[in-house]
Amino acid sequence: MLKRFSLVLEGELSHFLQIIKDLAESTRCIHRKNPNLYDIPRTLWIPTHHAHNRIVVFLYPQSVEVTQLHETLGIESEIDLTIRKLKDWAAPRPVEKNLLTMSDTVYVHPEPLGVVLIIGAWNYPWAVTVGPLIGAIAAGNAAVVKPSEVCVHTAKVMEDLLPIYIDKELYPVVTGGVPETQELLRQRFDHIFYTGNSMVGKLIMEAAAKNLTPVTLELGGKSPCYIDKNCDITIACRRTAWGKYTNCGQTCIAPDYILCEPSMQDRIIEEIKKALKEFYTDNPKTCADYGRIINQRHFKRIINMLDDCTIAAGGENDEANCYIAPTLLRDVKPEAKVMQEEIFGPLLPIITVSGVDEAIEFINKGEKPLALYVFSSDNKVIDRIRDETSSGGFVANDCLVHYSISSLPFGGVGNSGMGCYHGKYSFDQLSHLRGCLIKKLNMEGVNNVRYPPHTPKKPTPMKFMFLVFLTCSCEIFFKMEDIY
């Protein structure tokens, strides 16, 4: 049905349109012609389970264990959940009726959207690409998978492994760079799922608007971390350091900066330094648990942010190896370069505020972030920050872990994105939830009141409602008589 996508790599972009048309035709009968639909997510477990052994080769110096933790274990859990719950998610969902529909069958019927375009990111290339694919397949869609061109080796792993285990005609993998992505975006899809930065997210949305294609945008932003004076500072700093420097700071929900009172700054710096030594030894450059910046372009971008900052710890770097040490910045001003965009690297600025009021004010001056963190032993402080700010996710006394909970929606708000996924939210996000009402062809006498002409002789609305109620009650009574 489809020409091999290797043609795309040779520049034959004209085949895209026919490919998308063929996929759209296929997905209309995907449920009927594939009785094993509920087993499809299970087949994804096999390439996911084996992928980390190949991915880790290209993530030097990170260990296999780090790759498993960050890339594949969460996906395996998501697949397992989908296998167990898919029949329930896909079943018709009865809804509450009103008086006029008491005797009707009313329900929500999930159905496939059609063809979904999934554009992945480079920071966790397996997790943020295969994750949406699980939802797309579970919902009965066809999908075109476009891994990020930045992570060339992982894209190759995906291109090699996925066609072995899932239908390569229904779920083709397209590799390539900006021209291939632009050509894909010219085609008509039924949904586009993009993970990446806000600037590209706007371009995706602009392209989608031409066909009124709905989008899910998983973006990012400057996720704040407020450390309150009423908390265990050691634990707060340890958890913040883990959340920030995991994957060398290249995590969309990493704490982007710390807010604290001036009297706490020195203590926070010392505690984070202790945590860094515990996690990555005295020399993170030789530690197998500490990563690298993805490429030299991003290395230079991050280093340029240091121009007007005071380094409290770290700062060592090696451009040839894309290495930047875990770095703490003190007394950072709001107008500093490092505060003008998402850092997406191992720099952690500390901004001092007078207290929770000023922290909330500072957070609300910026764009809505993908995540917001607060460390406090005072529930009133936690509640205030939650209620008086807006963010994609909110976590108290920890970092990142909300991403791992499939029962929570993961997504942004405002500049940090739109839509959500994980677990059932992925299924619903990539389904059309079709409202259905099935009515019988009797009770036409009751329905006559809604037909023209409307004259004084017809029952008033109150009489009409009473008549409907009486008729429905009698019908229910006679049904019960039949049962007993």
First to last CA, the chain: 56
Buried b (16+ CB within 10 A) or exposed e, 7-23: ebeeeebeebeebbebb
Q: Answer yes or no: do 193 and 106 share one domain.
A: yes
Residues 301-329: tens digit of each pLDDT: 999 999 999 999 999 999 999 999 999 99
Residues 243 and 302 placed together within one structural domain of the fold: yes
Give the CATH number for residue 229: 3.40.309.10
In this structure, the answer to whether residues 15 and 144 fall within a common structural domain is yes
| 417, part of any domain | no
Phi/psi at 118 (nearest 5 deg)?
Answer: -110, 115
334 and 447 housed in the same domain: no
1 within a domain of the structure (yes/no): no
Query: For residue 9, what are its two tokens?
Result: 């790599």
Query: Is 358 an active-site residue?
Result: no
pLDDT at 461: 62
Residue-number span of the structural domain to which 350 is assigned: 224-411
Distance CA 424, CA 364 (A): 31
pLDDT, position 83: 86
Number of domains composing the chain: 3
Local structure of residue 168 (DSSP, 8 states): T
In contact, 71 and 62? CB cutoff 8 Å: no
40 φ, ψ to 5°? -60, -45
Q: 371 lies in a domain?
A: yes
Q: What is the number of other CB atoms lying within 10 angstroms of the CB of residue 289?
A: 16
Using one digit for the tens of pLDDT, what is the confidence trace for 272-287?
Answer: 999 999 999 999 999 9
Least confident of 85-99, 149-163, 411-425: 149-163
| 218 part of the active site | yes
Residue pair 448/438 in contact (Cβ under 8 Å)? The answer is no
Catalytic residue among 252, 309, 322, 472: 252
325-377 pLDDT per residue, tens = 999 999 999 999 999 999 999 999 999 999 999 999 999 999 999 999 999 99
Q: Take residue 398 and report the two structure tokens written for it.
A: 């920890």
Q: The domain spanning residue 164 has which CATH number?
A: 3.40.605.10
Identify the helix (H) or strand (E) that includes residue 217: strand 215-218
Look at residue 481 and tell me whether its pLDDT is greater than 80: no
Task: State the burial class of residue 183 (Cβ atoms within 10 Å of its Cβ: 0-12, 13-18, 19+).
Answer: middle
| Residue 59 located in a structural domain | yes
Indicate if 43 and 186 belong to the same structural domain. Answer: yes
Q: Tell me whether residue 159 is in a domain.
A: yes
From the number of C-beta atoms within 10 Å of its C-beta (0-12, 13-18, 19+), residue 47 rates as: buried
Provide the 10 A C-beta neighbour count for residue 363: 22
The tokens describing 467, both together, are 């008549």
pLDDT band per the 50, 70, 90 thresholds, residue 21 = low
Say which residue, 86 or 224, is predicted with more confidence. 224
102-123 confidence digits (pLDDT tens): 889 999 999 999 999 999 999 9
Compute CA 451 distance to the chain's CA centroid, rounded to the nearest angstrom: 48
Query: Are 248 and 215 within one domain?
Result: no
Grade residue 2 by pLDDT with cuts at 50, 70 and 90. very low
Q: Residue 222 corresponds to which amino acid?
A: K
Q: Is residue 464 part of a domain?
A: yes
- Residue 444 within a domain: yes
**Quick one: 46 and 190 in the same domain?**
yes
Residue 178 has pLDDT above 50, yes or no: yes
Q: Please tell me whether residues 215 and 228 are part of one structural domain.
A: no
pTM of the model: 0.87
Cβ pair 194, 342 in contact under 8 A: no
122 is a domain residue: yes
Q: How many residues does the chain have?
A: 484
- In whole angstroms, give the CA distance from residue 320 to residue 324: 11
Cα angle at 455 between 453 and 459, to 5 degrees? 110
Same domain for 123 and 102, yes or no, is yes
Could you give the CA distance from residue 398 to residue 235 in angstroms, rounded to a whole number?
9
* Cβ proximity of 123 and 298 under 8 Å: no
Whether residue 109 is found in the same domain as residue 253: no
Among residues 71, 78, 218, 342, the one annotated as catalytic is 218
Residues 144 and 271 in one domain: no
Query: Considering Cα of 138, then 139, then 143, then 145, what sign does the dihedral take?
Result: negative
Cα–Cα distance measured from residue 484 to residue 479, given in angstroms and rounded to the nearest whole number: 9
Q: Are 396 and 282 part of one and the same domain?
A: yes
